[in-house]
Amino acid sequence: MTDRKKIAVLGGGISGYGSAILAKKQGFEVFLSDRGRIADRYKSKLEEWAVPYEEGGHTEARLLDAAEVIKSPGIPETAPVVQRIREAGIPVISEMEFAGRYLDGARCVCITGSNGKTTTTSLIYKILRDAGVNAALGGNIGESFAYSVATGRYDWYVLELSSFQLDGMYDFRADVGVLTNITPDHLDRYGHCFQNYIDAKMRILRNQGPADCFIYSGDDPVIAAELPKYDLRMRQLPFTARTAAAEGAGAHLDGGRFTARLGDRSVAVETREMRLSGLHNAYNAMAAALAALAVGVDPETIRRSICSFEPVEHRLEPVREADGVLWINDSKATNVDSVWYALESMTRPVVWIAGGTDKGNDYEPLKAFAREKVHTLVCMGLDNAKLLRDFSGVIPEVVSTASLDEAMTAARRAARPGDAVLLSPACASFDLFKNYEHRGECFKQWIAEHL
């Protein structure tokens, strides 16, 4: 018979180690298991807290002896060990679900979406910190949410949530939920069914009541089609640019200025005063402004913080201008919609570097911008067949390369003074790199060494 005080943690990354330490602090008997190697910095923390762990494989008997399993978001449901745990009837939850039980009065702003969530999360966190709010940053970025709950005392948690983290949430509730957009992504993890992915994203609404706020894109057709399916009892705050201005609460972009309004408080921002550029960042800023109003930050602090916010690393990050060519690192653009916003924001002729591990992409939405703005596409991946097929005849020059060095050399050869070289891959990075951060760092390192 399993002991109700036994917790098993699957995965020893940032999510797993934080969950294990929180479980230990709460008096559970904890065991952490990772199929791969656990980073030294996480091992030292586990040892400091006397949490038993294993790496290089799973001892299933110990996992199946747990009353509950906390699964790291990177582990798919299809993993054999997860399936065996489920077959044994053991509940599998996320770090968010577990940490949410021990908030002790603290509240959460939770941000999800296919694109823009990292920038929006970082911007909300900056606004709250600038306003003197005792806030922590966590989820997909920052420190482990569970570790922050275990070791700190905060009034607000600002959490970036992936669909994988939302999948394992049941009783957790976002006091302020933000949904930036929903476009096809991670379909390989959702049975190549877009609706399954949509359902995961819509879990941001779960358990919200009249005291809570739901901030969402009023221009997103997928969200618009989904909302009638839900019993929406929370306060709804849409942000829009393409549709008519929302009446009452919400935010709207009109020309070069947006206004965000909640109750009797509002903040107006001139987008030309922002360090973030492009339509996608106007959306991100509107969402952040509404979230900050919902937390209670004064409008002038919100305006100042938005205007002083620097772009997030690996997201349309200008790296260097050399010989009249601007090199831009957009390695975080791992899906088609992210690249759409990147190309939309380009004001120079473009040499576009794309490719990697395809996630079931449909490149059709990119073709209009590709025809208009891109004169050379450099495909960088171990399998470029789909990119070559979709963009041959759309972009004048399409080049296939199988390494970063080959791709960068080809881009340098194609670029002319006045151009931009844009790394915006539309794909995951796992064929040639550890992750999108590694891809972006390699891009920047090559530029530092060669230009």
Q: How confident is the model at residue 106 (pLDDT cuts 50, 70, 90)?
A: very high
What are 21-66's pLDDT values in tens digits? Answer: 999 999 999 999 999 888 888 999 999 999 999 999 999 999 999 9
What are 332-375's pLDDT values in tens digits? Answer: 998 887 898 789 888 899 999 999 988 778 899 899 999 999 99
Show me where the domains of the chain are located: 6-93, 103-308, 317-450
| Architecture category of domain 317-450 in CATH | Alpha-Beta Complex (3.90)
Q: How far apart are the C-alpha atoms of 310 and 292, rounded to whole Å?
A: 18
Quickly name the fold that domain 103-308 has: UDP-N-acetylmuramoyl-L-alanine:D-glutamate ligase (3.40.1190)
Q: Which of 52, 49, 80, 81 is nearest to 64 (CA)?
A: 81
Catalytic choice (43, 186, 280, 314): 186
User: Helix crossing, 404-414 with 436-450: angle to 10°?
Assistant: 50
Q: Does residue 359 have an active-site annotation?
A: no
Catalytic choice (140, 181, 361, 384): 140
Q: What is the pTM of this model?
A: 0.77
Q: Does residue 384 have an active-site annotation?
A: no
Q: How far apart are the C-alpha atoms of 251 and 218, rounded to whole Å?
A: 9
Q: Does residue 58 have an active-site annotation?
A: no
Catalytic choice (6, 71, 117, 314): 117
Identify the CATH class of 6-93: alpha beta
Cα–Cα distances in angstroms (integers) from residue 40 to residues 17, 148, 285, in the given order: 11, 19, 37
